[in-house]
Chains A and B, each alone.
Chain A
């Protein structure tokens, strides 16, 4: 469905952010991209969404292909009409608009306006709290509710692929759990394809089917989430678990630094 091949991007013509990454998202699956700060997760998503000019991002090499069409030079709004919607990092809801208006804008790309009402009902089914406050300004929602609105805003357009950029950012663990459960349900019940970018590897691998580990602009590891969950290095560096499987105790940490195998 979405196929990114050898993507290489620069910021300001100088800083090489992605050093040739390849990612594939197959239909009806949740694919996770994991990595630390600065690994290139958000850059990947923005390159796919076509946000280039405002952040001085340039695609130097490689292709972004969606349903057989190359999307490298498309503008953001053209990419949305192809059926790819982004839930941006930090939610980026329209704070000065009401919840109803936020959803209205979310459905802007909808060709058939007649579907808006049914889509809205479907979205309210996942996020009942939003349906009670449609006339309230979105800026007054709590962080978790804002994240729900951001997801709802993408979902209401009924896209083919939703890309979520760190839906867990700045939220309490319980809210994160709730939101990930909803993401899982959206994928499961609506066969929605989801590309999930996360730092919270534990949560992401719990719901994803497949995962990529990004470090310094390169894919260092990929595989089914089951395989990733069992990998020794992932367990240690991303999930914080010891070899015996329990939570790692820092009292027992040995005083040498383990190297990640993929660096040698």
Chain B
């Protein structure tokens, strides 16, 4: 009985963790290649969910096509944001770019609310409410789909960044954009590519999040948790972001089932699951200030 409960907790933790990992992935990718800490990552995720909701629920378009539309439009939004705003801000002080991303975040929330309203909606997905029964265990199909698709995406990313010329060039640009330019790489194009991929994964995460809960403008707070996942992983490697995301998701899941609503001598823990993720992040950063996989920059002159 206890075993099944733990498997269940880990399962739901993994499906949330996969979402955090996807958002964190985009976060690290944009940060590494353009040097911009994108506080609007969660908002990109929300926009993806709303576009999917618009096609699937409001326009009654087949679900797969809605997802593809949401991903494509989300990626285009990322490219647009780079061309309109951040292309001019590369290399500017980090406090300036951070404030711009925070501003962008609230603009995205306002625009989304303006178009689709500020209420809570649910997405018309074929997975919702459906489960798979394996022995005594019951798994939600939406969560299962999240985990499977995320694993496929992670593998695709690892292959892209280690095998393809474009992926390797993007890694090179992230490390040293001046030298990348000297090798014939169009650095501006690479920055746009980073934004496109970053927004794309955020959009995918948004759709999964919408499937597991609801569509509303407040869902963008996932971005902050994903950011803690990225920092936990070290802000360096994509692998770090993925593992950071999974840790945050699983910890949150355990906290939600064992600690939430607990009462101890008149003190209420309340909804402690949001705190747990950050507590873990603080703990890890106290021991390893550069994150689990981060490293101090060693410069050889």
A interface residues with partner B (beta carbon < 8 Å)? 49-51, 54, 75-77, 80-81, 85-86, 88, 90, 92, 94-97, 101-102, 104-106, 108-109, 113, 139, 143, 153, 157, 170
CA–CA, A80 and B187, complex, Å: 13
Q: Verify A85–B91 contact, CB threshold 8 A.
A: no
Closest CB of chain B to A73's CB: distance in Å? 15
Cβ of B181 under 8 Å from chain A:
yes
Cβ of B1 under 8 Å from chain A:
no
Decide: A104 near B184, CB < 8 A? Known: A51-B178, A88-B179, A90-B301: no
Closest CB of chain A to B187's CB: distance in Å? 7
Decide: A97 near B168, CB < 8 A? Known: A54-B178, A88-B179, A139-B300: yes
Q: Which of B161-185 contact A (CB under 8 A)?
A: 162, 165, 168-169, 171-172, 175-185
Closest CB of chain A to B70's CB: distance in Å? 32
Closest CB of chain B to A93's CB: distance in Å? 8
Q: Verify A108–B183 contact, CB threshold 8 A.
A: yes
Ordered by A's residue number, 18 sampled pairs between the chains whose C-beta atoms are within 8 Å are A50-B181, A51-B178, A51-B182, A75-B181, A76-B182, A77-B181, A80-B183, A81-B184, A85-B183, A94-B175, A95-B300, A97-B172, A102-B172, A105-B168, A105-B183, A105-B185, A106-B183, A108-B169
Most buried by A among B175, B176, B180, B183: B183
Closest CB of chain B to A84's CB: distance in Å? 10
CA–CA, A84 and B178, complex, Å: 15
Give the residues in chain B near A95, CB-CB below 8 Å: 175, 300
Most buried by B among A86, A90, A96, A109: A96
Nearest residue, chain A, Cβ from B161: A101
Q: Verify B183–A96 contact, CB threshold 8 A.
A: no
CA–CA, A113 and B91, complex, Å: 32
CA–CA, A85 and B182, complex, Å: 7
Q: Verify B175–A97 contact, CB threshold 8 A.
A: yes
Nearest residue, chain B, Cβ from A102: B172
Cβ of B257 under 8 Å from chain A:
no
CA–CA, A153 and B169, complex, Å: 13
Closest CB of chain A to B103's CB: distance in Å? 25
Q: Verify A92–B181 contact, CB threshold 8 A.
A: no
Nearest residue, chain A, Cβ from B298: A139
Give the residues in chain B near A80, CB-CB below 8 Å: 182-184
Give the residues in chain A near B120, CB-CB below 8 Å: none
Q: Which of B185-211 contact A (CB under 8 A)?
A: 185-187
Closest CB of chain B to A89's CB: distance in Å? 11
Nearest residue, chain B, Cβ from A141: B300
Known: A95-B175, A97-B175, A105-B172. 16 other contacts (CB 8 A): A76-B187, A77-B184, A77-B185, A81-B184, A85-B183, A90-B301, A94-B175, A97-B168, A105-B169, A105-B180, A105-B185, A108-B165, A113-B165, A139-B300, A143-B300, A170-B301
Q: Verify A94–B184 contact, CB threshold 8 A.
A: no
CA–CA, A76 and B165, complex, Å: 19
Q: Verify B183–A153 contact, CB threshold 8 A.
A: yes
CA–CA, A34 and B175, complex, Å: 31
Give the residues in chain A near B180, CB-CB below 8 Å: 105
Give the residues in chain B near A104, CB-CB below 8 Å: 165, 168-169
Q: Verify A108–B184 contact, CB threshold 8 A.
A: yes
Give the residues in chain A near B185, CB-CB below 8 Å: 77, 105, 108
Q: Verify A76–B181 contact, CB threshold 8 A.
A: yes
Nearest residue, chain A, Cβ from B295: A96
Closest CB of chain A to B240's CB: distance in Å? 13
Give the residues in chain A near B186, CB-CB below 8 Å: 75, 77
CA–CA, A77 and B57, complex, Å: 46
Q: Which of B128-181 contact A (CB under 8 A)?
A: 162, 165, 168-169, 171-172, 175-181
For the complex of A and B, 5 pairs with smallest distance between CB atoms = A109-B184, A80-B184, A76-B181, A92-B179, A105-B172
Give the residues in chain B near A96, CB-CB below 8 Å: 171, 175
Give the residues in chain B near A170, CB-CB below 8 Å: 301
Closest CB of chain A to B28's CB: distance in Å? 14
Give the residues in chain B near A51, CB-CB below 8 Å: 178, 181-182
Nearest residue, chain B, Cβ from A76: B181
Nearest residue, chain A, Cβ from B170: A105
Partner of B172, one of A49, A50, A85, A94: A94
